[in-house]
Amino acid sequence: MPTDVGGGPAPTPAEEADVAPVVTRYGSGNETYASLVWRRFRRSTMGMIGLVLVGLLLFVSIFADFFAVMDPKATNLPFAPPDVIAFQDSAGNFSLIPHVYPIGDTGEFDPVTFQPLTGPVLDNPTPTGFFVEGYSYYFLWFIPSNIHFFGSTDGRPIQLLGTDKFGRDILSRGIVGSRISLTIALVVVALTTIVGTLVGITSGYIGGRLDAWVQRFVEFVLAFPQLPLYLALTSLIPVTAPSNVFLTFVIFVMAVLGWAQLSREVRSKTLSLARIDYVRAAIAVGSSDGRIITRHILPNVLSHIIVSITLAIPSVVLLESFLGFLGFAVKPPLISWGLMLQDTGTFSVIGSYPWILSPVIFVLITVFAFNALGDGLRDAIDPY
């Protein structure tokens, strides 16, 4: 019997047939591009955290009235400090339902200044519960309802983040204001993405004199100092204009000044894609320009556009907050995070009532969520 390389007897054909071949599978052969991106994306911890936070932000903003603890327009005690939340009753017993202790006078005085000291009033907690009745609103903008996710069961006010100078609950105004702030960001980014993509692909694919003139116009738009131009354009709207008109004009101004950079990036990618072999082959066989753009160039540019969207949204949120702080973004009775930050205009207010800075928390969470999501998508879409 012949021997194998190791010196032993070689296996017979029958023995070789009985041995099952070892097959190593690295993945299914019919995975789509989206499934490959998702498989890489879910390995990113920060990307998944950003995805969860973005989902929660959008969910809370859609059902903002349901999650709002108080009526965002109702007034109570001005500059009231945040209430204390504890999972124990006044006797010190543990309770699954959180108790809210309002801040009031403790009956004690500071030994140096003899000023009355404030603290949680432990003998009179505010009973709370989930899915309680509160102020009336329209669920999904057309269904009348008065059920709220969390609130007091006896109708007493709850200020978990304190109140502003008019006595309005900051937490409820921040939740409801997320609608305006996120709506501005999403609409502006959608308009800038559509315009920038169309201009960039058209300019890069056609080229020639059209590309030269379009790029000179893009450079003209990018040459403007955006902040003074924002302030100048928004000041054209009269003070007596309706809030919806002012909001529409602000969105229009942001979109007009924000599309140029994306168009430059899309153009550069289109110039490189237009010289690839399969695009030249499509031109050679007589494919129309529209088919080449939609079937060959746009899908390859789409990954960069998706990442640009997730990274542009926090920039618009920050811009809206800054313009709202200056009084050029949203007018009352609308509520936005930038408009809420107007109360922090003086250092004396910040020093005496630091909880007025609470709207900054909403902005920070939003910026972090979209930046983390965009960073994870960028690594998943283009790992090289």
Burial code (b: 16+ CB inside 10 Å, e: under 16) for 220-233 equals ebeeeeeeeebeeb
Helix axes 170-206, 243-258, angle to 10 degrees: 40
Q: What is the pTM of this model?
A: 0.81
In terms of pLDDT, which residue wins out, 283 or 356?
A: 356
Smallest CA-to-CA distance from 204 within 304, 103, 336 is with 304
Measured between alpha carbons, how far is 278 from 157 in angstroms, rounded to an integer? Answer: 66
What average pLDDT does this structure show over 323-346?
80
Residue 238 has pLDDT above 80, yes or no: no
Residue 65 has pLDDT above 80, yes or no: yes
What average pLDDT does this structure show over 212-216?
90
Pair 200, 276 in one domain: yes
Helix axes 298-326, 359-381, angle to 10 degrees: 170
Q: Of 111, 127, 158, which closes a domain?
A: 158
Residue 310 pLDDT: 87
Alpha-carbon distance values, 308 to 188, 197, 302, 344 (Å): 13, 11, 10, 32
SS3 of residue 293 by DSSP: helix
Asked if residue 71 is part of any domain, the answer here is no
pLDDT bracket for residue 25 (50, 70, 90): very low
Pair 289, 371 in one domain: yes
The rounded mean pLDDT for the chain is 81
In terms of pLDDT, which residue wins out, 253 or 119?
A: 253
Q: What is the pLDDT of residues 29-59, one digit of tens each?
A: 567 777 888 888 888 899 999 999 999 999 9
Residue 7 has pLDDT above 70, yes or no: no
Residue 20 CA, chain-centre distance (Å), reads: 53
pLDDT bracket for residue 117 (50, 70, 90): low
Domain ranges, residue 348: 48-64+172-381
Pair 209, 330 in one domain: yes
367: exposed, middle or buried (Cβ count in 10 Å: 0-12, 13-18, 19+): middle
Residue 195 has pLDDT above 70, yes or no: yes
pLDDT bracket for residue 328 (50, 70, 90): confident
Pair 272, 242 in one domain: yes
Pair 132, 252 in one domain: no
Pair 279, 141 in one domain: no
pLDDT bracket for residue 21 (50, 70, 90): low
Range among 105-114, 201-210, 231-240, 339-348 rated most confident = 201-210
Q: Of 117, 135, 158, which closes a domain?
A: 158
- Sign of the alpha-carbon torsion through 286, 291, 295, 297: positive
Write out the DSSP string of 136-190: EEEETTTEEEEEEEEEESS-----SS-B-TT--BHHHHHHHHHHHHHHHHHHHHH
Asked if residue 12 is part of any domain, the answer here is no
Pair 120, 226 in one domain: no
Pair 180, 124 in one domain: no
Please report, rounded to a whole number, the percentage of residues in the chain having pLDDT higher than 70.
85
In terms of pLDDT, which residue wins out, 41 or 121?
A: 41
Residue 251's CB: how many other CB atoms inside 10 A?
19
Measured between alpha carbons, how far is 86 from 75 in angstroms, rounded to an integer? Answer: 25
Residue count of the chain, please give it.
384
Contact status, residue 75 vs residue 170, Cβ threshold 8 Å: no
Residue 237 pLDDT: 74
Residue 174 has pLDDT above 80, yes or no: yes
Residue 23 pLDDT: 47
185: exposed, middle or buried (Cβ count in 10 Å: 0-12, 13-18, 19+): buried
Smallest CA-to-CA distance from 310 within 225, 247, 380 is with 380
